[in-house]
């Protein structure tokens, strides 16, 4: 059993940054808890703990003692999206019913004078508003008080309770309070009405924030038709194992990732890539679980099942991205944590000053100002400003086939100056093929057999091209006794007493192999030179083709004010040819993996914030060194793990989309933060009466509550605009 366990806990009752900070602070103090992060929009806690020191029951008990409900305790994220949505739906129904109740009673209270209702009748109606329509705010206030961590519920409950208690005292003991005091029944009722209405709108809006994950989850295949002992049978997709053969008819989902064995068809892969055009499928083509077979019947061999499918990895990547908080989010959480106590101090000070200097009805004005300051302050808007925009933005990115793996990349995207592209598999299709075989003093088959011995142990795209070519010619692979790869240079293999070298001609020469003059046929092509026992056997020329979107993608990046550079370990002539075809003026050839990272560092040293786009293990150092690393999901696992963004859509257009969307997300975050802070900076002093000497305007508690509701809802709605913004 592992010592470290990761828990996923969907929660109920988490409303603002103060709630987040409270849970994170208390849970982090539990012995054995290594990390805790609460994601506000999805209201989910992610906790890593040491099993020797604590357990899930203790962690759950601590959270529930704080007054929050733990909906589930799991080591996997699987079902939690549905639980969160169900929780939001329950919450939305609760807010709606209490909003409608408070609205009806507010109308009743406001019409009391017209119908000459008894003050005790009004008191009874107001009691229902305070006790039932605002009950959830009072419960939150008690929860926050036990944890000594005030939050939004504290402000609402205290403002409503103060207005209610003051009005009740005035009704019960009219002579006790100063002359001219007036009840605040209507203000209290409208305060509860408006805030419930705002919370209802907010809950409804939050439900759509994670639509891409839910869409992906709902599209996950349920069943598979497999061939077993020559017979066809239907099983649950979860039971499918790598190596098994499954059948897919037109209109059916692929139950797992796999490789086509027989049949020709096309597949709708828009679920994963956002690309509307079907992708052609034929023997040897890759297929992905959850996508849909269009025309022909296919037989496929499963290569990735369960959590190892591309669909599952995308869902998990989006989930992981939500756990990480941007630096600005940590700052806002800290501000929000201290915000409520500061507001309370301002409210008390303003209320006392109005009671002393407010004139004939100073006592009523003081109470009204105290209630209005508490009601107008909105920590929720600040707490939601960053995570809501990130959740919606990452959600849209996932639907477009772009996985943004961390929030920090968003902040760096705005200052990018140069995009560095790898050549093979990035600028080009990566579908490298042997174009010509040039033996030297031996037959083609002899040259190919020795090349195959070495390349059978390599993962390089050139090696894959050699293997395919040899297989088509019926040349069987012989595994070497040992092999050692030299990244960016070649591979050295031993077979019996012979040492075989396959790689760059310059590398062979550096290892003592005498090379004849290069033929003109090798110009601007990629070359694999082969030697055995120190004797040169010949060259294998390879060709690749640009991605169809390459030239347009480069032009688009330039139009965004970015410079574009091409870097590759391939021959300078081949790199220059590819750069010319794509319209790239700055290019670097024969660059080793560590030199790619150094090149990126040099660009950064010139004050140019750099993005690196690659797909191979040779690109991993540069991807890590760049300000933003971008990798294609079809690339090596090392490259994908080193990247900040992963492109599922096999098109260079996705690079521009990723950068533009990142900038849009940051723009919305800045708008949200500006609105949240501007709102509180202006409205709190206004509610306190700071501008009264010039405007002669005091904000009544009811309007203060309406403004509070509008503030948090506006942040949510502004974030949701990311779903339809033009890229």
Residues taking part in catalysis: 422
Contact (Cβ atoms closer than 8 angstroms) between residue 268 and residue 288: no
> Residue 584 CB: number of other CB atoms within 10 A?
23
Contact status, residue 424 vs residue 461, Cβ threshold 8 Å:
yes
Cβ burial of 102 (10 Å; 0-12, 13-18, 19+) is buried
Instruction: Answer for the pair 140, 15: CB distance below 8 angstroms, yes or no.
Output: yes
Are the CB atoms for 380 and 153 separated by under 8 Å?
no
Residue with tokens 């533009």: 660
Our CA dihedral for 553, 554, 560, 564, rounded to 10 degrees, sits at 140
Cα–Cα distance for residue pair 383/720, rounded to 1 Å: 16
How far is residue 332 from each of residues 15, 149, 203, 304, 323, measured CA to CA in Å? 15, 16, 21, 41, 16
Using the structure block, give the residue that is written with the tokens 């290019």. Answer: 587
CA distance to 33, 456, 633, 659, per residue, from 579 (Å)? 51, 30, 23, 22
Q: Which residues make beta-bridge pairs with 632?
A: 647
Alpha helices in 308-443 (DSSP H): 310-323, 327-357, 362-376, 379-399, 408-413
- Which of 390, 382, 387, 375 minimizes the C-alpha distance to 337? 382
H or E segment to which residue 462 belongs = helix 461-472
Residue with tokens 């993962």: 459
> How far is the C-alpha of 63 from the C-alpha of 698, rounded, in Å?
40
Q: Which two tokens stand for residue 231?
A: 């017979």
DSSP letters for 463-512: HHHHHHHHHHTTPPP---SEEEEETTTEEEEEETTEEEEEE-HHHHHHTT
Q: What is the DSSP annotation of 287-300?
A: E-TT-EE-SS-EEE
Whether 34 contacts 48, CB under 8 Å? yes
Given the structure tokens 């839910």, which residue do they identify?
Answer: 214
The sign of the torsion formed by the CA atoms of 247, 253, 255, 259 equals positive
β-sheet with 563-567: strand ranges across: 402-404, 645-647, 628-632, 609-614, 416-422, 563-567, 586-588
Question: Phi, psi at residue 275, to the nearest 5°?
Answer: -85, 125
H helix count then E strand count, the chain: 25, 26
C-beta of residue 38 within 8 angstroms of C-beta of residue 92: no
């Amino acid at each position: 059993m592992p010592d470290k366990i990761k828990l996923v806990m969907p929660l109920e009752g988490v409303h603002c940054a103060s709630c987040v900070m409270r849970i994170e602070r208390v849970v982090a103090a539990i012995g054995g808890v290594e990390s805790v992060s609460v994601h506000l929009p999805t209201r989910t806690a992610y906790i890593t703990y040491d099993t020797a020191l604590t357990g899930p029951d203790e962690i759950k008990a601590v959270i529930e003692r704080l007054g929050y409900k733990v909906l589930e305790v799991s080591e996997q994220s699987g079902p939690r999206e549905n639980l969160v949505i169900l929780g939001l739906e329950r919450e939305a129904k609760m807010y709606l019913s209490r909003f409608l109740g408070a609205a009806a009673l507010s109308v009743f209270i406001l019409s009391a004078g017209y119908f000459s209702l008894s003050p005790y009748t009004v008191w009874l109606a107001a009691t229902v508003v305070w006790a039932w329509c605002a009950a959830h705010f009072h419960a939150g206030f008690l929860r926050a008080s036990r944890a000594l961590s005030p939050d939004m519920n504290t402000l609402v409950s205290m403002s409503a309770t103060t207005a209610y208690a003051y009005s009740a005292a005035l009704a019960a003991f009219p002579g006790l309070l100063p002359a001219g005091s007036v009840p605040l029944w209507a203000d209290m009722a409208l305060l509860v009405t408006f805030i419930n209405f705002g919370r209802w709108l907010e809950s409804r809006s939050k439900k759509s924030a994670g639509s891409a994950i839910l869409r992906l989850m709902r599209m996950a295949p349920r069943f598979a038709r497999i061939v077993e002992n020559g017979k066809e049978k239907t099983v649950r997709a979860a039971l499918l194992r790598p190596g098994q053969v499954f059948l897919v008819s037109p209109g059916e989902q692929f139950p797992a990732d796999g490789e086509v064995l027989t049949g020709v068809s096309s597949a709708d892969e828009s679920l994963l890539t956002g690309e509307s055009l079907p992708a052609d499928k034929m023997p040897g083509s890759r297929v992905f679980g959850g996508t849909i077979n269009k025309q022909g019947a296919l037989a496929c061999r499963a290569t990735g099942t369960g959590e190892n499918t591309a669909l599952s990895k995308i869902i998990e990547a989006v989930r992981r991205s939500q756990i990480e908080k941007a630096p600005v989010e940590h700052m806002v959480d800290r501000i929000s944590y201290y915000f409520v106590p500061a507001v309370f101090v301002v409210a008390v000070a303003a209320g006392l000053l109005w009671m002393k200097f407010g004139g004939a009805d100073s006592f009523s004005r003081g109470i009204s100002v105290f209630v209005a300051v508490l009601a107008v302050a909105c920590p929720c808007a600040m707490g939601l400003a960053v995570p809501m925009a990130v959740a919606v933005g990452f959600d849209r990115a996932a639907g477009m086939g772009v996985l943004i793996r961390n929030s920090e990349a968003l902040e760096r995207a705005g200052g990018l100056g140069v995009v560095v592209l790898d050549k093979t598999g990035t600028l080009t299709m990566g579908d490298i093929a042997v174009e010509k075989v040039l033996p030297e003093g031996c037959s083609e088959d002899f040259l190919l057999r020795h090349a195959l011995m070495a390349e059978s142990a390599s993962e390089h795209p050139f090696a894959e091209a050699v293997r395919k070519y040899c297989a088509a010619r019926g040349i069987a692979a012989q595994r070497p006794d040992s092999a050692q790869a030299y990244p960016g240079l070649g591979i050295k293999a031993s077979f019996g007493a012979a040492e075989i070298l396959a790689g760059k001609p310059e590398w062979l020469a550096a290892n003592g192999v005498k090379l004849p003059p290069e033929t003109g046929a090798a110009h601007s092509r990629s070359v694999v030179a082969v030697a055995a026992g120190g004797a040169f056997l010949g060259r294998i020329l390879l060709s690749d083709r640009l991605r169809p979107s390459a030239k347009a993608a480069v032009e688009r990046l330039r139009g965004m004010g970015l410079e574009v550079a091409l870097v590759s370990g391939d021959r300078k002539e081949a790199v220059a040819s590819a750069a010319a075809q794509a319209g790239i003026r700055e290019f670097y050839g024969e660059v080793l993996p560590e030199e790619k990272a150094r090149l990126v560092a040099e660009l950064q040293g010139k004050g140019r914030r750099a993005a690196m786009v690659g797909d191979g293990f040779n690109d991993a150092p540069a991807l890590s060194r760049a300000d933003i690393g971008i990798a294609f999901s079809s690339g090596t696992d090392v490259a994908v793990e080193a990247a900040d963004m992963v492109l599922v859509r096999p098109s260079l257009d996705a690079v521009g989309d990723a950068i533009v969307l990142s900038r849009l997300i940051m723009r919305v975050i800045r708008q949200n933060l500006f609105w949240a802070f501007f709102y509180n900076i202006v409205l709190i002093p206004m509610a306190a009466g700071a501008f009264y000497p010039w405007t002669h305007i005091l904000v009544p508690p009811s309007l203060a509550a309406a403004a509070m509701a509008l503030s948090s809802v506006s942040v949510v709605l502004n974030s949701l605009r990311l779903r339809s913004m033009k890229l």
